[in-house]
Amino acid sequence: MNNDIAACLEREVLWFTQVCNARFEAYFKEDRSAPDFAALYPPPRLEGDTSPYAALVREHNMNFSERVVLMLAFMPHLRPQVLDWFLLQNSALQRGYSEIGGWRGKVHSGFLPTCETAAFLLAGTDLALRFEVAKLFKDEHFFTRSGMLKFDHQASGEPHFGSALMLSNEYLQRLSDGEVHKPDFSAHFPAKLMQTKLNWSDLVLNAEVMEEVDHIVTWLRQPGRILQSWGLDKSVKPGYRTLFYGPPGTGKTLTASLIGKAVGADVYRIDLSMVVSKYIGETEKNLANVFDQAQNKNWILFFDEADALFGKRTQASSSNDRHANQEISYLLQRVEDFPGVVILATNLKANIDQAFSRRFQSEVYFAMPDVEQRRRLWQGLFCQPERLGGDVDFRHIAEKYELAGGALLNVAQYAAIRAVKHGRNYIVQDDLIMGIGRELMKDGKTL
Question: 415 and 432: one domain?
Answer: yes
Angle at alpha carbon of residue 189, lines to 134 and 107, rounded to 5°? 65
Q: What is the pLDDT of residue 188?
A: 67
Question: 314 and 398: one domain?
Answer: no
> Is this structure's pTM higher than 0.85?
no
Closest CA to 328 of 355, 289, 295: 355
Question: 360 and 395: one domain?
Answer: no
Domain count for the chain, please give it.
Answer: 3
Q: What is the pLDDT of residue 58?
A: 94
Q: What is the pLDDT of residue 375?
A: 93
Closest CA to 261 of 193, 339, 184: 193
Mean pLDDT, 10 residues at a time, the chain of 447 residues: 84 95 84 75 92 93 96 95 88 80 86 94 90 92 87 79 89 82 70 89 90 91 77 76 92 94 92 70 75 81 81 54 64 82 87 76 92 92 90 94 92 94 94 93 82
Question: 156 and 202: one domain?
Answer: no
Encode pLDDT of 157-168 as tens digits. Answer: 788 899 999 998
Question: 220 and 251: one domain?
Answer: yes
Q: What is the pLDDT of residue 1?
A: 57
Contact of 293 with 334, CB cutoff 8 Å: no
Can you point out the beta strands (E) in 128-287? 149-152, 164-167, 191-194, 240-245, 266-270
Q: What is the pLDDT of residue 354?
A: 77
How many Å separate Cα 181 from the centre of its chain? 12
- Show the domain range for 217: 191-365
Contact of 221 with 321, CB cutoff 8 Å: no
Question: 317 and 405: one domain?
Answer: no
Residue 136 CA to residue 138 CA, distance in Å, equals: 6
Domain boundary among 177, 201, 231: 177
